[in-house]
Amino acid sequence: MSALSDHAKGLVITALGVLVLSPDALLLRLLTVDPFTTVFWRALLMGITLASVLALVYRGRADRAVRAVGGWGLISAQIYALNMISFVYSIHHTSAANTLVIIAAAPLFAAILSRVFLGEGVRPETWAATVIVLGGIAVVFWDGLAQGTWNGDLAALVTALCLASNFTILRHRKHIDMVPATALGGFIAAGVLLLIGAATPGSPNGQDWLVLALLGFFVVPVAFGLITIGPRYITAPEVGLLMLLETVLGPLWVWLALGERASALSLTGGGIVLVTLAIYFTWRLYGRRAVAAADSSG
């Protein structure tokens, strides 16, 4: 019974995280400041919020939680910092649909990375899905070359690889609370951009401050805090299916609010990716279970 309740808890936590994250692309589009200033405030406010939550949850033992993430947590924080920068850059330099479709491939990339770094086997259907998804992404990139948005598409691919790397680390260290690493990643991203002079922290206007506050104090910390915790209780295919919600909802909010539409070629590539991932994750959840049940009954 406890395993079932843990599973249900993982589904609810992850789904809530994805739903909270879904308007992220739209909120970023509403900002008038440059991408690096956006990243600076988004990352800094997220880091402050998560650090405050950790201080409340762990009370006087927050320092132990930070130390517990160890070397892998430090690597995860640096990857997450790069992820924050590349995601915002992508949103500003290509369509929201392109960005989110490319990022949706992250769980497949994580399976390949798990093979390389953790020695885990990769199933034949994973290889097949990866090839087809890469074909769909290639169509999106081809459209990006024609539209002049290839740099945003490339940044989305970097984001997907960063997410895949962190999925792999979370799987490897699933017994450890890695939320402190996420908070540290925010501080690293903000610190690096301030150090190299890429951000102009004083440039946001009144509307920008409202959007940045919503992003930094609620959307990003709540979403990524939940998405970091949820996968500890559910399987990778279930995480992948739930993450597809953002791929669908994110561009929908941008279209409804701003009228932004992806091109026909981009929609074709995105459709290939989404349909392939939906079939793949559903097969991983139910198909293999049905085959195993049939074999055992025979």
Q: Are 156 and 97 in contact (CB under 8 A)?
A: no
pLDDT at 295: 54
pLDDT in tens, 108-127: 888 888 888 878 787 888 88
Q: Which residues contact 90 (CB under 8 A, 6 or more apart)?
A: 98, 99, 102, 152, 153, 155, 156, 158, 159
Q: Is the pLDDT higher at 151 or at 169?
A: 151
Tell me the average pLDDT across 36-59: 92
3-state DSSP helix/strand/coil % of the chain, to nearest 5: 85, 0, 15
Residue 151 and residue 157: Cα distance in Å, rounded? Answer: 10
The helix (H) or strand (E) run that includes residue 149 is none
pLDDT at 113: 86
Residue 223 and residue 245: Cα distance in Å, rounded? Answer: 13
Percent of the chain with pLDDT over 70: 94
Q: What six digits make up the tokens of 208?
A: 């920008």
Q: What six digits make up the tokens of 278?
A: 């939906």
Q: What six digits make up the tokens of 106?
A: 């992250």
pLDDT in tens, 235-272: 766 777 788 888 889 999 999 999 988 889 999 999 99
Q: Is the pLDDT higher at 120 or at 227?
A: 227
Residue 7 and residue 103: Cα distance in Å, rounded? Answer: 25
Residue 225 and residue 219: Cα distance in Å, rounded? Answer: 10
pLDDT in tens, 61-103: 888 888 888 899 999 999 999 999 999 999 999 999 999 999 9
Query: Residue 32, SS3?
Result: coil
Q: Are 130 and 112 in contact (CB under 8 A)?
A: yes
Residue 123 and residue 129: Cα distance in Å, rounded? Answer: 10
Report pTM: 0.86
